[in-house]
């Protein structure tokens, strides 16, 4: 799915919701626990209930990999079942180099037919480039994440030798700090374009999100953290929406685990509809 197709879906629905299929087999309703294909049956019901209320689905591959071959089979069935009108994201956070990175790209783009995959950029351009080389596919690179540990590296202040020298020479010298995540994102933006490159920016970082949007006015952002992690949909939307939408707000547990019994899909639809209603009010119509 290319950018034009994604934007068309967002504008037709006035909706930028991504439903996260982080399906934990231990949390499935009791009536599915003994089903031979429980994870896919659960995902299928969620997709049927929410497909008119979202534009994307994100599959966190860790929940499927942990199940071995059965998990990969459920993943493949789920990807194939998601309508072609919806962006299919593999939340895999791969981050190796060279031939290994190329094999990861082949796995998710050729074997499992995802439209996008999340990538960790720590090892540099050669860990990202193989994904970017696929036409009409999206590489979603980790920018500023919502977890507590993002402070360990992403939010470190990056100073130049000149700034250090001026600070020592003139104690009154003040310079707006640049954080490591900003420098990383600026470099990554040189490798791709707004047509094939997105960034992950956590919803709990709404203040920084506004600044990031100014720096990257055209790129799409995948925004996790709304829902159980406490991010505000209104704050995220006000900070980062642009004329094309420009954001995909991911909600996982708050939707897929809204219900715990046979009516779980109906409960999921109710929560997804609430997000849809809010997004229609927040989306800039022109």
Hey, which residues are catalytic here?
Answer: 93
- Radius of gyration (C-alpha) of the chain in whole angstroms: 20
**Measured distance CA(58)–CA(67) in Å, rounded:** 18
Residue whose tokens read 């956070």: 93
CB 235 within 8 A of CB 228: no
**What DSSP line would sit under 67-85, residue for residue?**
TTHHHHHHHHHHHHHS-TT
End-to-end CA distance of the chain: 24
Rounded Cα gap, residues 126 and 102, in angstroms:
9
Which residue from 211, 221, 215 is spatially nearest to 241, judged by alpha carbons? 221
Who's near 90: CB < 8 A, 6+ residues apart? 59, 61, 108, 112, 114, 116, 117, 118
Residue 88 DSSP SS3: strand
In this structure, is the dihedral angle defined by the CA atoms of residues 138, 206, 228 and 47, taken in order, positive or negative?
negative
Determine contact, residues 246/221, Cβ cutoff 8 Å.
yes
Can you tell me which residue has the tokens 């090892």? 123
Residue 56 is inside which H or E element, if any?
A: strand 56-60
Whole-angstrom distance, CA of residue 181 vs CA of residue 187: 10
């Amino acid at each position: 799915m290319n950018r034009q197709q994604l934007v068309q879906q967002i504008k037709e629905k006035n909706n930028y919701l991504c439903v996260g299929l982080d399906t934990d087999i231990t949390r499935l309703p009791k009536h599915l626990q003994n089903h031979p294909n429980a994870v896919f049956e659960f995902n299928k019901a969620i997709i049927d209930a929410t497909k008119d209320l979202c534009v994307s689905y994100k599959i966190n591959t860790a929940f499927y990999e942990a199940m071995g071959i059965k998990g990969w089979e459920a993943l493949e069935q789920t990807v194939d079942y998601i309508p072609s009108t919806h962006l299919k994201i593999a939340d895999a956070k791969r981050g190796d180099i060279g031939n290994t990175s190329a094999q990861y790209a082949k796995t998710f783009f050729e074997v499992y037919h995802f439209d996008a995959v999340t990538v960790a950029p720590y090892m540099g351009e050669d860990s990202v480039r193989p994904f970017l080389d696929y036409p009409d596919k999206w590489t979603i690179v980790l920018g500023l994440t919502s977890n507590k540990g993002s402070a360990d590296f992403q939010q470190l202040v990056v100073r130049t030798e000149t700034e250090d020298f001026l600070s020592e020479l003139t104690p009154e010298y003040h310079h707006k700090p640049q954080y490591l995540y900003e420098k990383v994102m600026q470099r990554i933006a040189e490798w791709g374009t707004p047509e094939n490159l997105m960034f992950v920016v956590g919803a709990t970082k709404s203040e920084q999100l506004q600044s990031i949007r100014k720096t990257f006015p055209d790129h799409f952002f995948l925004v996790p953290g709304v829902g159980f992690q406490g991010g505000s949909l209104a704050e995220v939307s006000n900070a980062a929406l642009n004329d094309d939408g420009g954001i995909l707000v991911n909600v996982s547990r708050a939707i897929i685990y809204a219900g715990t019994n046979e009516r779980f899909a109906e409960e999921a639809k109710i929560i997804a509809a609430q997000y849809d209603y809010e997004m229609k009010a927040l989306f800039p119509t022109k």
